[in-house]
Structure 1
Amino acid sequence: MGVFSKKKEVAHDNGESQAPRKGRKLGAIGTIFASGSAMFADGYSNAAMSPVLTILSREDMYGPWLVGGERNKSLLAAMVFAGMVTGQLSFGWVSDKIGRKFAMFLCTAIIFVFSILAACSAGPTPQVLINCLIAFRFFLGIGLGGEYPSGSVAAAEATEHNEVGKKKQQRLFIWATNSQLDLAFTVAWLVALALYKIFGDNHLRAVWRGTLLLGAIPPLLLLIARMFMEEPDAYKKNSMRHTRIPYWLIIKRYWLKLAAVSIVWFIYNWVTYPFGIYSGTIVEKAVGKNPSLYQTLAWGALVNSFYVPGTIVGSFISDFIGPKYTMIFGLLMQAVFGFAMSGAYNRLVPENGQGGSIAGFAVMYGIFLAFGEVGPGNNLGLLASKSVGPTAARGQLYGIAAAIGKVGAFIGTYTFPYIQKRFDTKGYFVQNTGLFWVGSALAVFSATITFFGVHNIKPDHMIEEDAAFREYLAANGFDVSQMGEPGHREGDVADDVVSSGAVPRDADVYEHDEKK
């Protein structure tokens, strides 16, 4: 153990040192949440489109312009994902070569501006209004997508800090990212329901515009919080901001891990986003003919609330058995409930609309969605940020995996109405259960890919991987001396002075000293 490590042990017995240590711990946790909480804006913006589509589809709103207009419906729901793919791919490079903080701040500003513009969409005809809404949601998607390779990556790097317990690393990342996203799904429906209760049927414009406008509040708060952030220590020590990135060496080392996570993410988003965005439509069918708008919004809020317990319970399982096996467990349980719900559909929702149990249907549908969060919802971002690449290229590799996932979301939301329409021609049972058969089968397929293609990770995986990556580069003749920021590189004079005990070092530095 190093000299400073012995000082650290003595300091633990000194009551005066407890306050600074608690401050460092709170600071580390605060950094995790400030980095990852933009996922709330992602979840809110996507989930809000379901009640908004439900409101816009009412004939007494803007006439029959959207009713039966599958193209408008599909573009409204899916265009944000096209923007997200653009943001994920472009901001991956920005995050790695310019900095995590700059990328996060710019993304948050984009989300804030275009959330407001989307809520203010207008035009001389309904179609012009919808065209504005589609365009603004595309640009909103760029900001949302950029958060994945910047904010989520920074949150993952902040979890592997000396002040964060090793048994809490995975759950803290999940709470700061996917749990925020899932909470937003519930909040979006509750906001729409509350606004409907306030304004009523005579002011539906205020309901859908207000639902979108309130999505600008979370990024505004994040803009303020991120002004006081610094770059993660892992980025300071291992980035390639001042040297070229050896892409070919990176591809040779990480392509298989990247491919496996990307395929599972594609399938998961292809299933999950349409089921979430169109949950109002699905529940509306189950409630019966001509449900009130209040019924549709209330049942949609109930169903989406199941995301939250799914992500919270699953976060503890991820720390206990690891992200890989938690993901397999969640996928298989999702398939079980999906098949069970399909088989029992006629008992839960009879064809004549009499009897049955809409509550039973909503609960089973909610559990189906919840297990998706226990598994891939929680762990795909975790695995993509921690296992598919080193700090030097983490933003770009994570961005590629997330972009492939969002392509799945785009395809799913765009094709969902057409698939649903095709099932409608196959009889009552198939038209209402076909989508669940498809979703459950894909969950089993995803679990299989995860078992054979995804590696489990342990605490401090990124620290160990960065060290192994340096050795790999050096063995292949790459000069690693320029990796990291000046003053944080291996062998810098500043580090030598710190190691002598003349000045204190960061917690994660003396942890490395302890390992030596």
Structure 2
Amino acid sequence: MAKLEVLTALDKAKTQWYHFTAIIVAGMGFFTDAYDLFCIATVTKLLGRLYYYNPASGKPGLLPPGASSAVTGVALVGTLLGQLFFGWLGDKLGRKKVYGVTLMLMVVSSVASGLSLGSTPKSVITTLCFFRFWLGFGIGGDYPLSATIMSEYANTRTRGGFIAAVFAMQGFGILAGAAVAIIVSAAFKNAYPRPAFDEDPEASTPHQADFVWRIILMFGAIPAALTYYWRMRMPETARYTALVQGNAKRAAQDMATVLNMEFADDAAAEGAKSPREEPYGLFSRKFLKRHGIHLLGTTSCWFFLDIAYYSGNLFQKDVLTAINWLPSASSMSAIEEVYRISRAQALIALCSTVPGYWVTVFTIDIIGRFVIQLQGFFFMTVFMLAVAIPYDHWVNKQHGVFFALYALTFFFSNFGPNSTTFIVPAELYPARLRSTCHGISAAAGKAGAILGAFGFQYAWEDPDPTKDDYGYGPGIGHKKTLIALAACNAAGFFCTFFVPETNGRSLEEISGENEDDEDEDGDDAMKTDGGATHTS
């Protein structure tokens, strides 16, 4: 059947100011997401010094392995559940109705995380983990909703770049997290100068340092709160209104108000119902026939990517300390350590993470999703192996080369699968299942991130037959851990062949929503083709 005029017009619409407004409104959610997820890495060592210092050990305080993994990973658990729940809810109730809820949950939980109180170290960490779980739950909702909204607003020609631009705000969020930690720690360091731990263990951690981690965590509420008003003003997407609710006239009216588009009354009335009903449900035989391989591809690629990506981001401080790029904890005061860790993370974000995102933005609609994802996984594997195999050489002689190779893995993750795994699920699936399937794909990624966050903590420790004063047992060692992450990248490379190219076609053509039922057993609109490109 003929495609609705409003959808055809959206596909052919010129890029307008509202497109950029939508990028900022949706992107600020991802800015906040990245800030909240990754800023914890700048303060975990400070938490150990504040709450787990044992004078008898002769070492700076360190979070026990269980507490460290929980503080780092509990937000990822919440994110996984939020992606599944809000992804499903976005298809049931509409994108706009759910969009503001996720943002307010993030605001409240960010503030509450910084206010975590307790009479014992365990109670403080437990309270922090509780609020970071709900923070992650709100963050999880932002993934399927932001991707779906942007894909349904965008025109065919620039859709990939627009969705990538929303996701690229994550890079600025990571950079902002490091920058805020630098500013806060520098202010406290100058106001309350303290000696290094080796010089005076007791004096090296002032009680004012307790404010440092709280301020850093609470700052994440500000960009989310500033975005709430604009999110509530966004109309429902035309594709949801027309194809799911069956009201093409309302869809045309909504888009006319924000995109300066006009539709003839008779044409809008003609399409008062969607052109074709989609009777099949999620995981039905029909769905599995059309999109089963696609769902396997989007989930597996995201899963393998996030094992390596989140391990690398959340534990940068451990990697850089291992190669002596960061001084040992004993040679610094507690606040100085936060400052040094944040500065290193800001440098990696500025030199590799942020550029990688924006190279994707400017090239994805030219060279396509498939090529970017494939080359990204390939170079991530190459550079991770280049770091891992001669690891002892880099650690002992060539710290600068190690740092450069390590940074390149982040560049190619963002100019690669970290961007495309977010974009493609927002394009492959039909409108009434789009948010749900994106949520499932993203949740698979967070399952990988959880595996990386909890597994890396234990695997990274050097093998040792005895536990140290903090309860760490033997791991498989630095070199083998990095090789394992390289293997995850290689697995993602091969899983990419399950995901077809989506560049240059309308969402309805990609998902098959314009097909007649009798065509189902014939030429599907999208068949898995090992990544063959389909461009207009």
- What TM-score does the superposition give when structure 1 sets the normalisation length? 0.80
Note the alpha carbon deviations across 1:466-509, whole angstroms, 9 max, x for none. 5x3242457679xxxxxxxxxxxxxxxxxxxxxxxxxxxxxxxx
1:180 aligns with 2:175: no
Distance 1:198 1:443, change over 3 A: same
1:368 aligns with 2:368: no
Please say if residues 105 and 226 of structure 1, whose CA atoms lie closer than 8 Å, have aligned partners that are also in contact: yes
Please say if residues 23 and 165 of structure 2, whose CA atoms lie closer than 8 Å, have aligned partners that are also in contact: no
Please say if residues 110 and 140 of structure 1, whose CA atoms lie closer than 8 Å, have aligned partners that are also in contact: yes
Q: Tell me how far 1:244 sits from its aligned partner.
A: 8.6
Q: 1:328 aligns with which of 374, 381, 400?
A: 374
Q: 1:226 aligns with which of 231, 236, 257?
A: 231
What is the CA–CA distance in structure 1 between the aligned matches of 2:47 and 2:279, rounded to whole Å?
Answer: 48
Note the alpha carbon deviations across 1:6-52, whole angstroms, 9 max, x for none. xx9xxxxxxxxxxxx98x71012312332343111211111111011
Q: 1:431 aligns with which of 457, 463, 477?
A: 477
Equivalent in the alignment of 1:199: 188
- Aligned partner of 2:161: which letter? R
Please say if residues 423 and 432 of structure 1, whose CA atoms lie closer than 8 Å, have aligned partners that are also in contact: no
Q: 2:216 aligns with which of 211, 227, 231?
A: 211
1:315 aligns with 2:361: yes
- Aligned partner of 1:420: which letter? W
1:63 aligns with 2:53: yes
Please say if residues 78 and 136 of structure 2, whose CA atoms lie closer than 8 Å, have aligned partners that are also in contact: yes
Please say if residues 459 and 475 of structure 2, whose CA atoms lie closer than 8 Å, have aligned partners that are also in contact: no
Note the alpha carbon deviations across 1:75-112, whole angstroms, 9 max, x for none. 11111111112111111221112111111111001001
Q: 2:349 aligns with which of 291, 298, 304?
A: 304
Greater helix content: 1
Distance 1:245 1:296, change over 3 A: same
Q: Identity across aligned pairs (percent)?
A: 24
Equivalent in the alignment of 1:43: 34
Distance 1:123 1:215, change over 3 A: same
Please say if residues 245 and 392 of structure 1, whose CA atoms lie closer than 8 Å, have aligned partners that are also in contact: no
Q: 2:446 aligns with which of 384, 406, 421?
A: 406
Within 5 A, what are the aligned runs for 1:20-419? 25-58=16-49, 62-64=52-54, 67=62, 69-160=64-155, 166=157, 168-177=158-167, 179-200=168-189, 202=206, 203-239=208-244, 246-247=280-281, 248=284, 249-287=286-324, 289-290=328-329, 291-292=331-332, 293=337, 294-305=339-350, 306-350=352-396, 356-387=397-428, 389-419=429-459
Equivalent in the alignment of 2:507: 462
Q: Tell me how far 1:245 sits from its aligned partner.
A: 5.9
The size of the alignment, in residue pairs, is 444
Distance 1:459 1:349, change over 3 A: same
Q: Tell me how far 1:422 sits from its aligned partner.
A: 5.8
- Aligned partner of 1:183: which letter? F
- Aligned partner of 2:426: which letter? S
Note the alpha carbon deviations across 1:319-375, whole angstroms, 9 max, x for none. 22111111010111111111112234333321xxxxx34333222211111111111
Please say if residues 508 and 514 of structure 2, whose CA atoms lie closer than 8 Å, have aligned partners that are also in contact: no
3-state secondary structure, aligned to 2:116: coil
3-state secondary structure, aligned to 1:123: coil
Please say if residues 331 and 371 of structure 1, whose CA atoms lie closer than 8 Å, have aligned partners that are also in contact: yes
Distance 1:186 1:358, change over 3 A: farther
1:471 aligns with 2:515: yes
Within 5 A, what are the aligned runs for 1:438-453? 438-450=484-496, 452-453=497-498
Note the alpha carbon deviations across 1:102-146, whole angstroms, 9 max, x for none. 111110010011010011100111110100000101111111101
What is the CA–CA distance in structure 2 between the aligned matches of 1:194 and 1:425, rounded to whole Å?
Answer: 41
Q: Tell me how far 1:429 sits from its aligned partner.
A: 13
Distance 1:475 1:333, change over 3 A: closer
Distance 1:357 1:298, change over 3 A: farther
Equivalent in the alignment of 2:192: none
What is the CA–CA distance in structure 1 between the aligned matches of 2:493 and 2:381, rounded to whole Å?
Answer: 10
Distance 1:198 1:244, change over 3 A: same
Please say if residues 92 and 399 of structure 1, whose CA atoms lie closer than 8 Å, have aligned partners that are also in contact: yes
What is the CA–CA distance in structure 2 between the aligned matches of 1:367 and 1:476, rounded to whole Å?
Answer: 44
Q: Tell me how far 1:235 sits from its aligned partner.
A: 1.6
3-state secondary structure, aligned to 2:161: helix
- Aligned partner of 2:41: which letter? S
Please say if residues 199 and 206 of structure 1, whose CA atoms lie closer than 8 Å, have aligned partners that are also in contact: no
5+ residue gaps, structure 2: 55-59, 190-204, 248-276, 467-473, 522-535
3-state secondary structure, aligned to 1:318: helix
- What TM-score does the superposition give when structure 2 sets the normalisation length? 0.77
What is the CA–CA distance in structure 2 between the aligned matches of 1:296 and 1:150, rounded to whole Å?
Answer: 33
Equivalent in the alignment of 1:496: none
What is the CA–CA distance in structure 1 between the aligned matches of 2:387 and 2:465, rounded to whole Å?
Answer: 20
Distance 1:228 1:299, change over 3 A: same
- Aligned partner of 1:417: which letter? Q
Please say if residues 332 and 443 of structure 1, whose CA atoms lie closer than 8 Å, have aligned partners that are also in contact: yes
